[in-house]
């Protein structure tokens, strides 16, 4: 590209940007506008913005997010199952390698933390990991939905809703409990119940981590002056980071506690040592 | 419902329902087939590894057998060499002994021949000396005459 052409291109580009910026200010925001306090409060409590679930019930936006995430993941999985897995080769290509690394990572996580019993655990941490990771990244897409009040909101991460976080935290605890029962029977139940605070800590860790991300993002996007350049770092980098961190933390903790409670009790060895 | 943070049990169950469908779907569509393929590949490479190990073991066994056989052959060669050396030495000793005997015989024959020659020469020399002495005696007798012979004979009688 010659110098003149480059100068023309840059001038046109700057003019276009200025025009769009002017138009944004001139048009203004449409309809009602919530205050930042209301936005923040709704992000935590979900008491005002509800979405109709196929006309059956008004639900929090996170339920719609959860359904969307599940839909996306299941369609992706079905496509992979139909088009990619039958063409798997002994020497893997790039995409096959990524899939194998993902499955291998969660499988190894289950095997290393719970060497005695890990079939269910591997499948569970894989699903939970995929759900947390994709669910957290889901807020980056900024899908818009209409609330029952006629407002347009962006779909949040499914786990930034306390109900979604409680579900995953408690389910993880139930999976750990099942491992305890399968591995040690009544003793396993006792071992699991000893960590009775685990479902609460797991739920609120997830909720807190994802909600904080949501609040920061809401805050940044609420003010026009913060909507340039900053979202690149705040929206993308923070979301990516806490998606990775929360996925690792939840799956690691579940695998760790599962391995601990499902480890068989060694009676014979202690007897031998005593004798 | 009066629950803090607007916790809604119905929505928790909705989330649970959604997640269980997702977990089941992901297990059947992604986790299980990929894991099965990985296990299949691991088994395939393990079988290959086992087959290679068996082949290596068989090759090592054959190598050991050949090494044993080679050692036997080398020992045999050594024994044959030793035997051949002994035989060669014996033959050489026999040749030497024969040569020595021959040498002694030749020397003896030569000595005998030389002795015979010497004796022959001595006999000839004696015969010659005798001839010369008798010739000299004849000459002396001729020159001294007959008296001398008589004197000599007398004196020889007296001395007796």
pLDDT in tens, B129-147: 999 999 998 887 777 666 6
Q: For residue A88, list chain B residues with Cβ-Cβ distance below 8 A.
A: 37
CA distance A247 to B108: 119
Q: Do A126 and B31 touch (CB under 8 A)?
A: yes
* Contact (Cβ atoms closer than 8 angstroms) between residue A181 and residue A188: yes
Size of interface A-B (CB pairs under 8 A): 113
The confidence score (pLDDT) of residue A225 equals 72
- Residues A145-154 have a mean pLDDT of 85
CB proximity B22 to A under 8 Å: yes
- Residues A103-126 have a mean pLDDT of 93
For residue B20, give the chain A residue with the closest CA: A127
In which residue are the tokens 């003010």 written? Answer: A223
Average pLDDT value over all residues in chain A: 86
CA distance A261 to A188: 6
Query: Does residue A18 lie within any of the structural domains?
Result: no
Query: Does residue A274 lie within any of the structural domains?
Result: no
In which residue are the tokens 């050396």 written? Answer: B85
Q: Do B31 and A166 touch (CB under 8 A)?
A: no
Q: Which of the four pLDDT bands, split at 50, 70 and 90, describes residue A230? A: confident
Query: Does residue A180 lie within any of the structural domains?
Result: yes
Q: Which of the four pLDDT bands, split at 50, 70 and 90, describes residue A32? A: low
Query: Does residue A29 lie within any of the structural domains?
Result: no
Residue A213 has pLDDT above 90, yes or no: no
- Asked whether the CA dihedral A89, A93, A99, A103 is positive or negative, the reply is positive
The number of angstroms, rounded, from the C-alpha of A76 to the middle of its chain's C-alpha atoms is 16
- Residues B26-30 have a mean pLDDT of 95
Q: Which of the four pLDDT bands, split at 50, 70 and 90, describes residue A31? A: low
CA distances, A163 to each of A116, A143, A160, A233 (Å):
33, 20, 9, 28
Query: Does residue A26 lie within any of the structural domains?
Result: no
For residue A64, give the chain B residue with the closest CA: B15
Q: For residue A69, list chain B residues with Cβ-Cβ distance below 8 A.
A: 22
Return the higher-pLDDT residue of B156 and B93. B93
As a whole-number percent, the residues of chain B with pLDDT over 90 amount to 77
The beta-carbon neighbor of B6 closest among A45, A80, A130 is A45
Return the higher-pLDDT residue of B158 and B92. B92
Return the higher-pLDDT residue of A83 and A185. A83
CA distance B51 to chain A (A): 18
Contacts of residue A201, defined as CB under 8 A and 6 or more positions apart, other chains included, come to A169
Taking residue B106's Cβ as centre, other Cβ atoms within 10 Å add up to 10
Q: For residue B39, list chain A residues with Cβ-Cβ distance below 8 A.
A: none
Q: Do B11 and A60 touch (CB under 8 A)?
A: yes
Residue B34 has pLDDT above 90, yes or no: yes
Locate the DSSP E strands across A134-193: 144-146, 152-154
Q: Do A123 and B11 touch (CB under 8 A)?
A: no
Q: Which of the four pLDDT bands, split at 50, 70 and 90, describes residue B46? A: very high
- Residues A229-237 have a mean pLDDT of 76
CA distances, A153 to each of A32, A147, A163 (Å):
12, 7, 19
CB proximity B121 to A under 8 Å: no
Q: Do A168 and B19 touch (CB under 8 A)?
A: yes
Query: Does residue A246 lie within any of the structural domains?
Result: yes
Return the higher-pLDDT residue of B133 and A215. B133
Dihedral angle, C-alpha A111, A116, A117, A121, nearest 10 °: -30
* Contact (Cβ atoms closer than 8 angstroms) between residue A62 and residue A51: no
The residue among A126, A131, A165, A173 with the most chain B CBs within 10 A of its CB, best to mutate, is: A126
ipTM: 0.82
Return the minimum-mean-pLDDT range out of A236-250, B11-25, B41-55.
A236-250
pLDDT digits (tens, 9 = 90+) for A170-182: 999 999 999 988 8
CA distance B135 to B141: 10
The confidence score (pLDDT) of residue A116 equals 86
Q: Which residues of A220-246 are buried (b: 16+ CB within 10 A; e: fewer)?
A: bbeeeeeeeeebeebbeebbeebbeeb
Q: Tell me which residue of A40, A78, A94 sits closest to A221, measured CA to CA.
A: A40
pLDDT digits (tens, 9 = 90+) for A41-67: 877 777 778 888 888 888 999 999 999
Taking residue A34's Cβ as centre, other Cβ atoms within 10 Å add up to 16
CA distance A23 to chain B (A): 40
Q: Do A66 and B15 touch (CB under 8 A)?
A: yes
- Residues A241-246 have a mean pLDDT of 89
Q: Do A90 and B44 touch (CB under 8 A)?
A: yes
Q: Do B18 and A80 touch (CB under 8 A)?
A: no
The beta-carbon neighbor of B12 closest among A124, A128, A166 is A166
The confidence score (pLDDT) of residue A275 equals 47
- Residues A103-119 have a mean pLDDT of 92
Return the higher-pLDDT residue of A211 and A133. A133
- Residues A163-174 have a mean pLDDT of 93
Query: Does residue A243 lie within any of the structural domains?
Result: yes
Q: For residue B5, list chain A residues with Cβ-Cβ distance below 8 A.
A: 44-45, 162
The beta-carbon neighbor of A100 closest among B5, B38, B44 is B38
Return the higher-pLDDT residue of A26 and B61. B61
CA distance B11 to chain A (A): 6
Tally of domains in chain A: 1
Q: Tell me which residue of A132, A93, A107, A100 sits closest to A243, measured CA to CA.
A: A132
Query: Does residue A10 lie within any of the structural domains?
Result: no
Q: Do A171 and B35 touch (CB under 8 A)?
A: no
- Residues A114-142 have a mean pLDDT of 92
Q: Which range of residues forms the domain containing residue A228? A: 49-264
Q: Which of the four pLDDT bands, split at 50, 70 and 90, describes residue A237? A: confident
């Amino acid at each position: 590209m010659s110098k003149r052409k480059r100068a023309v291109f840059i001038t046109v580009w700057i003019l276009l940007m200025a025009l769009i910026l002017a138009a944004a200010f001139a048009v203004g925001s449409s309809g009602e506008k919530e205050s930042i306090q209301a936005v923040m409060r709704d992000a935590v409590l979900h008491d005002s913005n509800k979405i109709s679930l196929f006309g059956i019930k008004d639900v929090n936006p996170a339920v719609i997010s959860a359904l969307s995430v599940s839909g996306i993941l299941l369609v992706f999985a079905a496509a992979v199952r139909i088009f990619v897995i039958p063409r798997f080769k002994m020497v893997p290509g790039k995409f096959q390698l990524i899939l194998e690394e993902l499955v291998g990572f969660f499988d190894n996580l289950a095997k290393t933390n719970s060497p005695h019993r890990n079939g269910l655990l591997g499948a569970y941490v894989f699903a939970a990991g995929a759900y947390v990771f994709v669910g957290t990244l889901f807020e980056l897409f900024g899908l818009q939905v209409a609330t029952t009040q006629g407002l347009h909101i962006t779909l949040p991460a499914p786990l930034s809703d306390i109900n979604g976080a409680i579900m995953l935290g408690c389910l993880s605890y139930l999976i750990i409990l099942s491992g305890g029962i399968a591995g040690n029977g009544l003793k396993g139940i006792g071992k699991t119940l000893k960590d009775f605070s685990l479902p609460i800590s797991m739920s609120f860790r997830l909720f807190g981590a994802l909600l904080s991300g949501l609040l920061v993002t809401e805050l940044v996007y609420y003010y026009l002056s913060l909507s340039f350049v900053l979202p690149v770092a705040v929206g993308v980098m923070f979301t990516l980071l806490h998606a990775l961190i929360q996925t690792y933390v939840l799956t690691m903790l579940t695998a760790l506690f599962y391995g601990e409670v499902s480890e068989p009790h060694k009676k014979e060895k202690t007897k031998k040592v005593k004798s | 419902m009066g629950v803090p943070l607007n916790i809604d049990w119905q929505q928790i169950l909705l989330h649970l329902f959604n997640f269980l469908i997702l977990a089941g779907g992901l297990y059947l569509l992604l986790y299980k087939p990929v894991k099965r393929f990985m296990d299949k590949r691991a088994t395939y490479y393990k079988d290959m590894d086992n087959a290679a190990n068996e082949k290596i073991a068989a090759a090592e066994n054959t190598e050991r057998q050949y090494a044993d056989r080679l050692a036997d052959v080398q020992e045999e060669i050594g024994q044959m060499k030793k035997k051949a050396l002994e035989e060669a030495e014996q033959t050489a000793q026999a040749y030497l002994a024969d040569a020595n005997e021959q040498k002694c015989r030749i020397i003896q024959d030569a000595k005998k021949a030389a002795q015979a020659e010497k004796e022959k020469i001595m006999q000839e020399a004696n015969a010659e000396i005798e001839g010369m002495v008798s010739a000299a005696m004849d000459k002396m007798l001729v020159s001294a005459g007959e008296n001398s012979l008589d004197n000599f004979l007398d004196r020889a009688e007296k001395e007796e």
